[in-house]
Amino acid sequence: MTDATVAPNLPQWMRDHVARYQSSGGTDGHMYTITSPNVPAMSVPSLLLTTIGRKSGQKYLFPLFYGQTDGGYFVIASKGGAPDHPGWYRNILANPEVTIQVATTIMPAKARTATGAERARLWEQAVKIWPPFADYQQKATGREIPVVVLEILR
């Protein structure tokens, strides 16, 4: 994943997180600890997703919170509740072949958007992992936040 670059529009805290994750080979950064004023610290599992830019053709890295499902993983295309989908999600719609790093393990995967009962089940799990996802959905009027399944290619 060294040939991928951090997406240029990511906030500094995400850039710093990717740098920590990569410099440690995944031993530091897999569990991301969030501290906010007046809120207890919370640790959330994170992975690194590499997509191919739909316009540029370049490989881009994105740190995302994740959950596990049926031998694979899932991530949430929330963009903090913005009205439009994140760039990484638009990239996977154009090319679902991705690479992920979960802790120290790097693996190829195929991304797909969950629908129906599967989406509802995974969304419920996601909100347990990171409760602010529920707030993001309320802010994201006009769009249902996608739940993306990352199926490991063997």
CATH number for the domain that contains residue 46: 2.30.110.10
Q: Residue 63's pLDDT is what?
A: 95
CA 127, chain centre distance (Å): 14
Q: Residue 8's pLDDT is what?
A: 83
Q: Residue 69's pLDDT is what?
A: 95
Q: Residue 137's pLDDT is what?
A: 87
Q: Residue 147's pLDDT is what?
A: 98
Q: Model pTM? A: 0.93
pLDDT, one tens digit per residue, over 98-111 is 999 999 999 999 99
Structural Rg of the chain based on CA atoms: 15
* Counted domains in the chain: 1
For residue 114, list its beta bridge partners. Answer: none
Structural domain boundaries, residue 36: 5-152
Q: What is the largest CA-CA distance in the chain?
A: 44
